[in-house]
């Protein structure tokens, strides 16, 4: 407002004064108002230069300027609309006017064109040191000192004895199933509420997924649904070869009852810990509970190698076998000899260097993500009908993504609509994962719900993720809060 005043002038002002005003403000333009203070037009540097070239003098009044109508927007106009107008007319400023035609703000392209994204890579300070070392020593291969060190670091942090660095989290989960001898026709239980990469490796093996619902308490696999699914499978003589338990949005599943059930039926557990590096369950690291677990270092995860994954286990033989399978399964022989099908799944020594640098700041990244979540909760505390992802007392979540449900009985607006409105403001929110049992590619697959109703369906229908990056500024977090309040009618 006060800023607008410093660049506002009238037709009685002189060209000289307008030029001085432009010099001081650094905006490259002034706003011309009429006697009643209503906006008339913008006057740019260029407008004044043209005026002088056409013979006007420095002491002439601005009244000699032609009367044109400059573009404006209202305060209700979404950012995306304002930007589209700027693009169309090749301008970098847009005055925002109220119902009386008064300027309340000046939008500048450079201030509004940067979107707030869901979760972007956040580099630390030492990644380049490890990467440069790889170049200097010519370790540009899917093995080398960075790979070895990254594996040791992850094993320590994840509380497991052994780790194999791989090209992706999906590769880690696939190898886990291969190592557990999952074959064509076998059944594998898998959380329904997850990303497709948890379930696709089951299909890679030609195995049959059975999807298990989430519980409302943690949004992860429901032990109640798992119990029923195991009992049914036992009765039908179709016990699964493995259970894929997913730890979503930075939070572990309720591992004790899940492991108790799986042990009782003698079924091994694979933890999809792609989203939960740095989280704990009852004080123990997420990823240390399954027979095997897979982490992901994709670009949007809490730490990244731009792309990569890690398979971990306490079983040395499994990880040794994983290293063998992930490097094309070459038998020890002077020539190329293969007795099983192998994969090209190993992580490069360069990317492992990025991972080593990233791991040094994992603690800070977790704290930053939790702080983003806490800021949202505090800033929206008085808005009814927002149900945040719960953090049970046994859980320490990294809050990899800040997620919530919009209660449809409180708000007239669906989560999808909220996501759309935020998108128009250049804020990237996303729906929660669409459950696997609703994916066309898995149509007809068995699905066992938590109770009479499906929890994962409700989560998908009402939920959303807000921007959650550890590199978000306080201003960006505030803007998300302000816009969510506005969208939900709580300004």
* Site for ligand PLP, rule CB under 6 A: 168-170, 194-195, 197-198, 246, 272, 274-275, 296, 298, 309
- Nearer to ligand PLP among residue 144 and residue 294 (C-beta): 294
Q: How far is the CB of 194 from ligand PLP (least distance, A)?
A: 5
Name, in order, each residue with C-beta under 8 angstroms of 491's C-beta and a sequence gap of 6 or more.
Answer: 485
Name, in order, each residue with C-beta under 8 angstroms of 96's C-beta and a sequence gap of 6 or more.
Answer: 72, 73, 74, 75, 77, 103, 104, 105, 106, 107
Conformation bin of residue 428: beta by default, left when phi > 0, alpha when psi is -120 to 50: beta
Q: How far is the CB of 311 from ligand PLP (least distance, A)?
A: 11
Q: How far is the CB of 172 from ligand PLP (least distance, A)?
A: 8
C-alpha dihedral sign at 468, 471, 477, 479: negative
Radius of gyration of the chain (CA): 29
- Nearer to ligand PLP among residue 373 and residue 400 (C-beta): 400
Identify the burial level of 452 via C-beta atoms within 10 angstroms of its C-beta, where 0-12 means exposed, 13-18 middle and 19 or more buried.
Answer: exposed
Please state, in angstroms and rounded to a whole number, the distance separating the CA atoms of residues 271 and 249: 14
In the complex, residue closest to ligand PLP by CB: 169
Q: How far is the CB of 4 from ligand PLP (least distance, A)?
A: 45
Q: Provide the β-strand partners of residue 212.
A: 191, 448
DSSP 303-359: S-SSS-EEEEES-HHHHHHHHHHHBT---SSSS---SS---B-BPPHHHHHHHHHHH
- Nearer to ligand PLP among residue 144 and residue 250 (C-beta): 250
- Nearer to ligand PLP among residue 195 and residue 442 (C-beta): 195
In this structure, what token pair is assigned to residue 78?
Answer: 């979404």
Tokens 């550890």 found at: 470
Q: How far is the CB of 1 from ligand PLP (least distance, A)?
A: 44
Q: How far is the CB of 165 from ligand PLP (least distance, A)?
A: 12
- Nearer to ligand PLP among residue 31 and residue 255 (C-beta): 255
- Nearer to ligand PLP among residue 21 and residue 197 (C-beta): 197
Q: How far is the CB of 442 from ligand PLP (least distance, A)?
A: 15
Q: How far is the CB of 183 from ligand PLP (least distance, A)?
A: 21
Report the 10 Å Cβ neighbour count for 162: 20
Please state, in angstroms and rounded to a whole number, the distance separating the CA atoms of residues 66 and 189: 73
Q: Provide the β-strand partners of residue 403.
A: 465
Instruction: Let me know: does 383 contact 490? Beta carbons within 8 Å.
Output: yes
- Nearer to ligand PLP among residue 214 and residue 246 (C-beta): 246
- Nearer to ligand PLP among residue 96 and residue 303 (C-beta): 303
């Amino acid at each position: 407002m006060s800023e607008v005043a410093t660049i506002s002038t009238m037709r009685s002002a002189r060209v000289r004064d307008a030029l001085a005003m432009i010099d001081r403000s650094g905006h490259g333009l002034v706003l011309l108002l009429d006697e009643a203070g209503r906006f008339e037009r913008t006057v740019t540097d260029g407008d004044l230069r043209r005026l002088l070239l056409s013979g006007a003098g420095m002491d002439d009044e601005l009244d000699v300027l032609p009367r044109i109508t400059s573009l404006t927007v209202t305060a209700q106009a979404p950012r995306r609309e304002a930007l589209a107008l700027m693009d169309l007319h090749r301008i970098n400023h847009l005055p925002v006017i109220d119902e009386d035609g008064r300027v309340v703000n000046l939008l500048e392209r450079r201030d509004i064109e940067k979107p707030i994204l869901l979760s972007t890579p956040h580099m630390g300070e030492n990644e380049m040191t490890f990467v440069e070392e790889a170049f200097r020593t010519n370790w540009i291969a899917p093995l080398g000192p960075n790979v070895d060190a990254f594996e040791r670091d992850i094993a320590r942090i994840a509380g497991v004895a052994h780790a194999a660095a791989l090209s992706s989290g999906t590769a880690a989960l696939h190898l886990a199933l291969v190592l557990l001898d999952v074959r064509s026709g076998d059944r594998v239980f898998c959380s329904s509420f997850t990303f497709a990469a948890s379930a696709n490796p089951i299909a890679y093996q030609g195995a049959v997924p059975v999807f298990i619902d989430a519980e409302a308490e943690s949004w992860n696999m429901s032990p109640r649904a798992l119990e029923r699914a195991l009992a049914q499978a036992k009765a039908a003589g179709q016990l699964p070869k493995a259970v894929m338990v997913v730890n979503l949005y930075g939070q572990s599943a309720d591992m004790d009852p899940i492991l108790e059930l799986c042990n009782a039926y003698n079924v091994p557990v694979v933890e999809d810990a792609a989203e939960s590096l740095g989280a704990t369950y009852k004080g123990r690291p997420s990823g240390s509970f399954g027979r095997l677990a897979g982490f992901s270092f994709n670009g949007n995860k809490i730490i990244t190698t731009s792309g990569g994954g890690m398979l971990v286990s306490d079983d040395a033989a499994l990880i040794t076998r994983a290293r063998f399978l992930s490097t094309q399964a070459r038998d020890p022989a002077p020539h190329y000899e293969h007795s099983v099908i192998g994969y090209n799944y190993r992580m490069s020594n360069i990317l492992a260097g990025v991972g080593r640098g990233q791991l040094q700041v994992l603690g800070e990244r977790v704290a930053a993500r939790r702080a983003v979540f806490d800021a949202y909760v505090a800033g929206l505390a008085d808005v009814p009908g927002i149900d945040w992802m719960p953090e049970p007392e046994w859980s320490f979540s990294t809050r990899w993504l800040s997620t919530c449900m919009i209660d449809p009985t409180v708000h007239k607006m669906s989560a999808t609509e909220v996501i759309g409105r935020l998108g128009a403001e250049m804020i990237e929110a996303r729906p929660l994962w669409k459950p696997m049992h609703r994916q066309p590619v898995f149509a007809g697959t068995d699905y066992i719900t938590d109770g009479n109703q499906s929890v994962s369906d409700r989560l998908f229908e009402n939920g959303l993720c807000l921007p959650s990056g550890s590199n978000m500024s306080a201003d960006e977090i505030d803007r998300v809060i302000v816009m969510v309040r506005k969208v939900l009618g709580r300004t």
